[in-house]
């Protein structure tokens, strides 16, 4: 899509954000940005807001720092990026400490995404990519012991009772366990320990071993670009359906390294990624044609990204139905989605003591009925 077309159909501000992302991945030039800014009256507060939504403020700062824009505008981006660098450094230190503590207890974990991904793909600068929590991989059999150690370290987790009482159901229904703690300075540290890469609605046949190899937790070498390409196709694409420009920039940077083949389960997601990259980031055209469902989903996601529309968790889950390749797949996914909506979670298990996990399906229904506004809101989006 031409930048001017994006500007006319949406706004010069979102077009500016898209153009900066293109310059960062080298599908556009700095001269194009200078000409665009000179030709349009920019609301820089809106540009900043859209950059924050798409989680690309460090990218815009790096690109805009070389252009002639108002000093207060650049200062706002600079201040954020400095804070992000401090944020990233503190979390790097805490991540190393937690890995050491867990290792001393025989609990094997491996960091991925976040800081690890930024170091590999963004030139080693841990402040170049926005992130929140620290993500680590773990064997599901070590989750109970992990919960004990993290609790002893002062971290809180609302999912511990669920894991303690129904460990088999927890592993089957949840992909991770999350811990949070306030630092002495009041800053929030968050860890997500993933025992599988996908959520309940995704194909459970593809896990970390299929993506990374049998020894993924114990291998001493860092993850390769090819391994991260598979991981991010699953994380950004098959799980979240590319919610922002940051996810597309990630994929574009990985693709530029010459990635090999991907598992069969991810090929349509890869084609969706290529289509979105071509439309929004002016990436290369895909070698193979996309089916009608992929094209419709690409059109929908493009519209959501350019209109800066926040997608709820429920809407992202519904994309699994929309993206199904056939009518039978759509029906099966719809049934699975209905099951997901009624699946008990930690709110139900923490709220009342029942002797059977199956009884918590009833507890979930009661809880939803007690909050009719939220219940209707959820189902109105399905």
Q: What is the pLDDT of residues 145-176, one digit of tens each?
A: 999 999 999 999 999 999 999 999 999 999 99
* Residue whose pair of structure tokens reads 């999912």 in the numeric block: 159
Q: Is residue 169 part of a domain?
A: no
Question: Is there a single domain that holds both residue 273 and residue 323?
Answer: yes
Q: Is residue 88 part of a domain?
A: no
Q: Is residue 375 part of a domain?
A: yes
Q: Is residue 178 part of a domain?
A: no
Q: Is residue 203 part of a domain?
A: no
Range of the domain at 13: 1-69
Q: Is residue 235 part of a domain?
A: yes
Q: Which of 70, 71, 78, 90 is nearest to 131 (CA)?
A: 90
Distance of alpha carbon 241 from alpha carbon 120, whole angstroms:
23
Question: Is there a single domain that holds both residue 279 and residue 369?
Answer: no
Question: Is there a single domain that holds both residue 269 and residue 354?
Answer: no
Q: Which residues of the chain have pLDDT under 50?
A: 374-382
Structural domain ending residue among the three candidates 52, 69, 86:
69
Q: What is the pLDDT of residue 130?
A: 95
- Count of the separate structural domains present in the chain: 3
SS3 192: strand
Question: Is there a single domain that holds both residue 333 and residue 230?
Answer: yes
Q: What is the pLDDT of residue 373?
A: 52
Q: What is the pLDDT of residue 371?
A: 59
pLDDT digits (tens, 9 = 90+) for 234-247: 999 999 999 999 99
Question: Is there a single domain that holds both residue 373 and residue 295?
Answer: no
pLDDT digits (tens, 9 = 90+) for 258-284: 777 888 989 999 999 999 999 999 999
Question: Is there a single domain that holds both residue 326 and residue 350?
Answer: no
Question: Is there a single domain that holds both residue 300 and residue 234?
Answer: yes
Q: Is residue 199 part of a domain?
A: no
Q: What is the pLDDT of residue 375?
A: 43
Q: Is residue 22 part of a domain?
A: yes
Q: Which of 61, 55, 70, 63 is nearest to 132 (CA)?
A: 55
Contact 266, 273 (CB under 8 A): no
Question: Is there a single domain that holds both residue 299 and residue 381?
Answer: no
């Amino acid at each position: 899509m031409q930048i001017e077309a994006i500007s006319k159909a949406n706004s010069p501000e979102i077009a500016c954000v898209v153009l900066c992302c293109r310059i960062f991945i080298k599908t556009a030039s700095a001269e194009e940005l200078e000409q665009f800014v000179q030709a349009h009256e920019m609301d820089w507060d809106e540009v900043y807001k859209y950059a924050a939504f798409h989680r690309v403020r460090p990218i815009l700062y790096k690109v805009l720092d070389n252009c002639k824009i108002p000093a207060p505008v650049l200062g706002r981006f600079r201040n954020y990026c400095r804070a992000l660098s401090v944020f990233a450094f503190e979390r790097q230190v805490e991540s190393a400490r937690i890995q050491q503590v867990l290792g001393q207890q025989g609990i094997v974990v491996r960091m991925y995404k976040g800081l690890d991904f930024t170091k590999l793909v963004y030139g080693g600068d841990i402040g170049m990519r926005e992130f929140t929590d620290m993500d680590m991989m773990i064997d599901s059999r070590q989750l109970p012991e992990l919960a004990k150690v993290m609790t002893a370290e002062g971290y809180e987790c609302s999912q511990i009772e669920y894991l303690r009482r129904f460990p088999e159901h927890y592993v089957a229904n949840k992909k991770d366990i999350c811990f949070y703690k306030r630092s002495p300075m009041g800053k929030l540290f968050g860890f997500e320990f993933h025992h599988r890469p996908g959520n309940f609605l995704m194909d459970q046949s593809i896990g970390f071993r299929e993506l990374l190899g049998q020894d993924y937790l114990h291998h001493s070498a860092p993850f390769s670009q090819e391994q991260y390409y598979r991981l991010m196709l699953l994380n950004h694409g098959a799980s979240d359906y590319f919610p922002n420009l940051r996810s597309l920039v990630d994929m574009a940077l990985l693709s530029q390294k010459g990635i090999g083949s991907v598992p069969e389960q991810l090929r349509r997601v890869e084609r969706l990624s290529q289509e979105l990259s071509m439309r929004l980031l002016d990436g290369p055209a895909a070698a193979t044609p996309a089916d009608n469902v992929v094209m419709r989903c690409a059109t929908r996601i493009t519209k959501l990204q350019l209109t800066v529309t926040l997608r709820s968790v429920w809407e992202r889950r519904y994309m699994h139905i929309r993206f199904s390749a056939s009518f039978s797949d759509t029906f099966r996914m719809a049934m699975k989605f209905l099951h997901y909506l009624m699946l008990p979670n930690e709110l139900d298990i923490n709220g009342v003591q029942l002797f059977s996990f199956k009884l918590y399906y009833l507890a979930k229904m009661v809880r939803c009925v007690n909050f009719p506004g939220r219940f209707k809101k959820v189902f109105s989006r399905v």
